[in-house]
């Protein structure tokens, strides 16, 4: 968590605060925003492999480098100039060249540190990158499904506590999904987060829970009944279907607005007279 505006609140600055959480053998999936020389070099030094979409500012020419296959090659990136936030000593510690693999899968150019196609094929890279979409879906589950889009608290400290409660609820729902998937012998990603939440709310409100094993087994059975459909290459417009209502925002205490309406009536342009 960090300030919502001002210097040092960009995604890269926030990521530098958690990059030490990666350990050797991990794989980092991210979109093109994270496809940067210094970030890839940092992860390589930790023994972490990466798979990013190519940054839009970088041109990919498959006629250069070591050819591995059709639209698949290994190239050396030259170290860029020192950014303002980096010290000269830190800049000098990075290698002058960075060996990466660029591969075109479908309409996307992917950049990875998996350099040997015999170990990780082009098809496997494309399939692995599709898993990155789970990030977007998980954020939607936290913000929309659980309702964290709008925080109700007024102070920074209370907003932070409110967010931790949402994170706790999210992890508990994921724990239920993991246990249900284990008993149903399926992957947790095959189960629906929203369905699990609805089952849990209904189950707990009716006070069916007890310490009896048959009760918890029945709960896990209900959670595992609904499976998420397989929809590869699904495309959806980034647009809101519902139109906003033509009302102004309430920027004064509700009681003051009530008194104003009582004395002067509703605004004529709202058509409420």
Q: Convert the pLDDT of each residue in 26-49 to its tens digit.
A: 999 999 999 999 999 999 999 999
39/83 Cα distance (integer angstroms): 13
105/99 Cα distance (integer angstroms): 19
105/63 Cα distance (integer angstroms): 17
Q: Using 50, 70 and 90 to split pLDDT, how confident is the model at 94?
A: very high
Question: Look-up: residue for tokens 């647009």?
Answer: 239
* Strand stretches in the chain, DSSP E: 27-30, 49-53, 66-69, 72-78, 97-105, 108-112
Query: What number is the average pLDDT over the span 50-62?
Result: 93
Whether 193 and 177 have beta carbons less than 8 Å apart is answered as: yes
pTM metric for this prediction:
0.79
| pLDDT score, position 270 | 61
What is the gyration radius of the CA atoms in the chain, in angstroms? 25
Whether 113 and 63 have beta carbons less than 8 Å apart is answered as: no
């Amino acid at each position: 968590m960090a300030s919502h505006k001002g210097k040092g609140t960009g995604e890269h600055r926030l990521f530098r605060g958690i990059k030490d959480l990666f350990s050797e053998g991990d794989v980092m999936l991210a979109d093109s925003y994270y496809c940067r020389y210094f970030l890839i070099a940092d992860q390589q030094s930790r023994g972490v492999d990466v798979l990013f979409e190519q940054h839009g500012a970088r041109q990919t020419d498959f006629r250069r480098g070591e050819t591995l296959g059709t639209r698949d090659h290994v190239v050396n990136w030259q170290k860029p100039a020192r950014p303002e936030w980096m010290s000269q000593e830190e800049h000098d510690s990075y290698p002058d060249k960075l060996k990466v693999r660029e591969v075109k899968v479908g309409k996307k150019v992917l950049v990875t540190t998996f350099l040997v196609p015999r170990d990780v094929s082009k098809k496997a890279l494309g399939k692995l990158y599709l898993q990155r979409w789970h990030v977007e879906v998980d954020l939607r589950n936290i913000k929309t499904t659980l309702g964290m889009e709008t925080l109700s608290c007024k102070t920074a400290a209370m907003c932070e506590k409110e967010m931790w409660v949402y994170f706790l609820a999210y992890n508990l729902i994921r724990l239920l999904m993991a246990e249900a998937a284990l008993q149903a012998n399926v992957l947790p990603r095959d189960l629906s987060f929203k369905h699990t939440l609805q089952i849990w709310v209904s189950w707990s409100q009716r006070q069916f829970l007890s310490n009896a094993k048959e009760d918890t087994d029945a709960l896990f059975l209900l959670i595992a009944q609904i499976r998420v459909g397989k929809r590869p290459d699904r495309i959806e417009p980034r647009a809101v279907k519902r139109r906003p209502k033509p009302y102004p925002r309430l920027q004064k205490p509700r009681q003051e607005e009530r008194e104003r309406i009582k004395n002067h009536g509703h605004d004529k342009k709202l058509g409420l007279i």
